[in-house]
Chains A and B, each alone.
Chain A
Amino acid sequence: MTESDLRIGVFVCHCGLNIAGTVDCESVAEYAGTLPGVAHSDHLLFTCSDDGQANIKQKIKELNLNRVIVASCTPRTHEPVFRACVEEAGLNRYLYDQVNLREHVSWVHMDDHELATEKAKTLVRMAVERAKYLEPLERKAVDVIQKAAVIGAGVAGISAALDLADAGFETTLIESRPTIGGQMALLDKVFPQNDCAICILGPIMSKVGQHPNINLMTYSELDNVEGYVGNFHLNVRKKSRYIDTEKCNGCGDCATVCPVSVTNEYEFGMGERRAAYRPFPQAVPNKYTIDKRGTSPCRIACPAHVNVQAFLALLKEKKYDEALEIYRKNSPFAGTLGRICTNPCQADCERGKYDQAVSIRNLHRFLADYERDNGGIKIDPIVPDKKKAKKPVAIVGGGPSGLACAYDLARDGYSVTVFEARKEAGGLLRWGIPAYRLPRDVLRDEIGILKQMGVTIKTGTKVESIAELKAQGFKAFYVATGASSSRMMNIKGENTKGVLSAIEFLDKVNSGKTVNIGKKVAVIGGGNAAIDAARTAKRLGAKKVTIVYRRSREEMPAIPSEIDEAEHEGIQIEFLATPIEIDTKEKLVSSMKCIRMRLGAPDESGRRRPVPIPDSEFKISVDNIIMAIGQGVTPEALLTKLEPTQWGSLEVDPVTLQTNMKGVFGGGDVVLGGGGTAIEAVAAGKEAAKSIDRFLRGVDLIEGREDFLIPIEKIDVDEEAFKTRYAPEMPTLSMSKRKTTFEEVELGFKEAVAIAEAERCLSCGICCECEKCVEACKLDAVNHKLQDEIVELDVGTIIVATGFQTYDPLETREFGYGTFENVITNAQLERLTNAAGPTQGKPKRPSDHEIPKRVAFVQCVGSRDRRIGQDYCCYIGCANSLKQAIQLKEKFPDIEVTIYTMDVRTHGLGYEGLYRRARSMGVLIVKGRPSEIEEIPDTKSLIVYAEDLYTGERLETTSDLVVLATALIPNDDTPELARKMKLSTGEYGFLMEAHPKLRPVDSFQDGVFLAGATLGPMDIPKAVAYGKGAAAGAQALMAPGKFYVEPIYAEINTDLCFDCDLCSDMCPYGAITGKGEDRRVMFELCQGCGTCAGACPHNAIDMRHYRRQQIMPQIMAAVRMQGGVVL
């Protein structure tokens, strides 16, 4: 079109004062009229009105306009309106363009009208230049999928889903909670008629559950969504309830036996529920759910993966044998490890981040001791499986590692024999650790568990080779022979009589042999063996025992409580010192020369290397020296023909623990070279058992062997209910007894102390997999192995009705919430008055469960509050408090109720009546927000300080219960949802509608509608109306079956294209196809982004309506113009 043919019409809108208040519209219109190609230019008050549109249509016809520009608001709202308008006048809708003078000019440059007007002129000029190159385009139709998805099943979502389903559209209703009903289902009564909420909602919920056109997906969340209007593809994650919903009949037997209690979010924290639960009795669907967040950190940290959370939960309920059974699923050593374990579980205990880790070790010790005191250990023998018994297993070494391996294999049905060279099994547990830490009978009885199970333990039997065992018929082997030699320092005088290794020393004592120990003993080293040796020496009569350790206290590897006890027993520790020479007198030890050390740079273990300080030698007078500086593996521990590592320990595969001999596995100290803890040895034994089982079954040793322990992403701690409490002190044997006997020093917790300590567990994983529910369910519906499922949906429209949450004043502790027990919120009071709630409908106040005589309501908590950026009205606070006040008065006419408010907002029909009714019942309404609330310590009642703004009187009133009317705020996951669905959020974080007045249920995405309180605070009838409105919008879109797609897609000029494929490589939709003459864009797939056009080096591919020739003039006008003046 040549310039002379152009007849552009420019219409500059005042938009009342919205634009005209800042931009001089007349001047802009005048300027536009001077531009070449513009046949008509005018300014109007409201272009989008009937009048305005009529004017445009008239001018088009009258003046034969062939391009129209409206300079007004953002095209994102009215572009469709004006396009339709020009089309009605006979002009192709794509010959229309819109200039944004409101959102982009008048509303944002209010300080400088002159510059704003200049910018407006430039923008209009840009549009005029572009308009010259616009072309008529025809819209294409696409099929609209006749299905809908509704996200959120509160009252708005339910209303929408029912209307859509009744109209015949298959609707998937997605709800993140295990039940539908949203917030309304948790209310007691609803204003203004004070109907029972669940009574009116319940039947509707049932209808949803049974509707043939509604596909109900509860406990499900949207993972992501792709596509466009009419053709959305959703990936919905159906979270696992760990209960088969086909089988579950809602009987609740699982919840009755579940030992884990957590704060009930459906009671707003006023009550508790179990990990296996149903939100409320009228839940739809009527199924139970197991709330499992993952594996608790303690269980993951334990090298043997003992289910700590489960045994603590059962201990709390006094189910000691069931708790012990849980422990014994993983290891037989509840009492043994209960005394000597280094408890890595406690290091990771979540409670430790708050006050102090739970005393897990002492609690499973308690369980073992309780059993000993109440009948002793009784284990049923296990009959080996016939098939497995044909392949007996031999274990060499009866220490913790070998025994743990035997335990697991025997429980699995194998026939196991343990070969132990010493006269008693137990390894270092028996021959190394002193009896004052681990009494002999505790260990003996727990080893006895294996015997009771049917494991053969051959003591006093030394094995020299695998071959001899094979000859006896064994088919698989575990070598756990330990590290029984000692490292020595190699200093002068070390070979003198009176210098012992700790292993040697402790072994002799533990064998009952007499050991001569002098009056002055030095122990070299800082590990548990050194402490054990020192404390044993004390008990044998040494007067002065000194531990000499080359690093500082912080680096000492021994268990801290052991170090403390050693010092309590009078043992001295010389830190940062090491012996360099042992002096003798008449072939006996007389003294030891030591040198002071300082910490230098870190060595390969990461610890700082000790460096001798020159000229700092000093002497200690000693009779005996005990070396406890490390262990070593004896060559015979490797039996014959097993391959060692370069350090002499047994070489094994790090995953399967297999040695160089097939079917022979190794673990524990013989592999580590010494220094391993007992629990690490147990874990190695269990890994070996796993390998041996796979080996004997002929199954791959590696594939699928990992434990399924999923860490918890975020541990939910109810900080409101949390009370700081530290672990109890372990009662210990008196010092006088300790000096001379080997009686156990730590005496164990008493029952009440143990229960109280177990109660400190935070139940991190919530469900702990104790599997009591599996036992209790008569329908076999519980399955802890179930996984989340991803369900894919294709729909034509989506309605988002995800609701709101109530503001929690816990962070600000406003009005004492969270600090004073008797300050609660509206939502919490609602649960108290609810007959199905935690107090069976009696409004008992939290501190003493008494019915309050005086109740105060404080309005607008978190609402109309600029300090926290929530300066909007919550819409329902006044009506809600009036309703609750009336309810209290109805049940207990003598209760004094006062509502402290700024304004009483009872809008529309019915609510004013509520206000009058409350007042007639004697409810006092004070205009004046309280300034402060104080608690009276003995009664826990509260003093409310306020000012009556009408009378000017200062008020100081005592109240037994204070109820806060809290704000309604967006859900925490709204930003994430907005990002996934490409929705806008408004100033306060709620989802934003396309237009607050005229398009309340539309979003900015075609095909996605919004309903209910996800848009902002509203009451139930409004939410229902929005739901129905959104359903109507969705139906209007789907019913015609087709949707007109914008003809904004790419086109290829094959004359210019040389098949470089840059465009087709970067097209996200694979819309470019063919080669040479056949190269083309598939318009149904092209979404119109223009990325291809931005890349083409030959200008061969271009984007309709956003062509190069349409954009470049816009750019030229923008950069060359300033306020109508060419620069």
Chain B
Amino acid sequence: MKEGKFEPNIVAFTCNWCSYGSADLAGISRLQYPPNAKVIRLMCSGRIDPVMVIESFKNGADGVMVTGCHIGDCHYSTGNHRTQVRFDALQKAMKVMGLNPERLRLLWASASEGQQWAEGITEMTEKIREIGPNPITAGGITK
């Protein structure tokens, strides 16, 4: 960790068919973006149990990204519809948990949208950098 500079710790849940592919395409295209997001590969964004997001924050994630196929393009037809519903519920829960809702972000990116992946990660990293570390593990400092 660089001295003095806050490096956000971000978890990005991806789906095998679209968003993981978009991250791959960003790589193939050599698009550069900050190294703060760690990708967890799932088959579908619908696999994301809201508990996984909550546990991420409880244990120190500064930001969580929920990513998958665009609505209508889900490889499993309606998986990402559920993701959307769960994300909306989680957004509300963020306030209950005392967390800035901007720490949780939804990104739909198809396998041919490498640019969107790179931009999404970059924007998220900068936003988290701005709002600061997770208050739950960083001693209760909330922005």
Interface set of A (CB-CB < 8 Å, partner B): 74-76, 100, 102-105, 107-112, 115-116, 118-119, 122-123, 126, 226, 975, 978-979, 982-987, 992, 1004, 1048, 1066, 1068-1069, 1087-1091, 1093-1095, 1103, 1106, 1108, 1111-1112, 1114-1116, 1118-1120, 1122-1123, 1125, 1127
Q: Given A1108-B49, A1112-B52, A1119-B56, are A984 and B112 also a contact pair (CB < 8 Å)?
A: yes
If A986-B112, A1115-B52, A1118-B56 are given as contacts, then 6 extra A-B residue pairs at C-beta distance below 8 Å, sorted by A number, are: A109-B32, A111-B32, A979-B73, A1094-B83, A1111-B47, A1119-B9
Residues of A contacting B9 with CB < 8 Å? 1118-1119, 1122, 1127
Partner of A1094, one of B21, B23, B31, B47: B47
Interface set of B (CB-CB < 8 Å, partner A): 1-2, 7, 9, 11, 16-18, 20-21, 23-36, 38-44, 46-50, 52, 55-56, 59-61, 73-79, 82-83, 86, 110-112, 118, 137
Residue of A nearest to B20 (CB): A76
Residues of B contacting A104 with CB < 8 Å? 23-24, 27, 39
* Bound CA–CA A992/B21 (angstroms): 12
Partner of B38, one of A108, A119, A1108, A1127: A119
Pair B78/A1068 contact, Cβ less than 8 Å = yes
Residues of A contacting B16 with CB < 8 Å? 76
Partner of B111, one of A118, A982, A1118, A1120: A982
Q: How far is the CB of A161 from chain B (nearest CB, A)?
A: 27
* Bound CA–CA A100/B49 (angstroms): 23
Residues of A contacting B83 with CB < 8 Å? 1094
Pair A74/B24 contact, Cβ less than 8 Å = yes
Pair B47/A108 contact, Cβ less than 8 Å = no
* Bound CA–CA A108/B35 (angstroms): 8
Q: How far is the CB of A1127 from chain B (nearest CB, A)?
A: 6
Pair B112/A1091 contact, Cβ less than 8 Å = no
Pair B33/A108 contact, Cβ less than 8 Å = yes
Residue of A nearest to B11 (CB): A1118
Central interface residue in A76, A1048, A1119, A1120, by most chain B CB within 10 Å: A1119
Partner of A107, one of B30, B36, B52: B30
By Cβ-Cβ distance, the 5 closest A-B pairs, closest first, are A103-B27, A1090-B47, A1091-B46, A1089-B76, A1089-B44
* Bound CA–CA A1093/B79 (angstroms): 11
Pair A1091/B47 contact, Cβ less than 8 Å = yes
Residue of B nearest to A74 (CB): B24
Pair B49/A1089 contact, Cβ less than 8 Å = no
Pair B43/A1106 contact, Cβ less than 8 Å = yes
Q: Given A103-B24, A107-B28, A1091-B76, are A1115 and B112 also a contact pair (CB < 8 Å)?
A: no
* Bound CA–CA A229/B34 (angstroms): 37
Residues of A contacting B60 with CB < 8 Å? 1119-1120, 1127
* Bound CA–CA A758/B55 (angstroms): 73
Residues of B contacting A1108 with CB < 8 Å? 49
Q: Given A105-B35, A1095-B82, are A74 and B49 also a contact pair (CB < 8 Å)?
A: no
* Bound CA–CA A1127/B16 (angstroms): 29
Residue of A nearest to B57 (CB): A1119
Residue of A nearest to B27 (CB): A103
Pair A1094/B27 contact, Cβ less than 8 Å = no
Q: How far is the CB of A132 from chain B (nearest CB, A)?
A: 16
Pair A1103/B55 contact, Cβ less than 8 Å = no
Residues of B contacting A978 with CB < 8 Å? 112
Q: Given A108-B33, A123-B38, A1090-B43, are A1122 and B7 also a contact pair (CB < 8 Å)?
A: yes
Residue of B nearest to A117 (CB): B35
* Bound CA–CA A579/B141 (angstroms): 78
Q: How far is the CB of A54 from chain B (nearest CB, A)?
A: 27
Q: Given A126-B40, A1066-B82, are A1115 and B11 also a contact pair (CB < 8 Å)?
A: yes
Q: How far is the CB of A562 from chain B (nearest CB, A)?
A: 53
* Bound CA–CA A1049/B112 (angstroms): 27
Task: Give 10 CB contacts A-B under 8 Å.
Answer: A111-B32, A126-B40, A984-B21, A1089-B46, A1091-B79, A1094-B47, A1108-B49, A1111-B52, A1125-B1, A1127-B60
Partner of A115, one of B7, B48, B49: B7
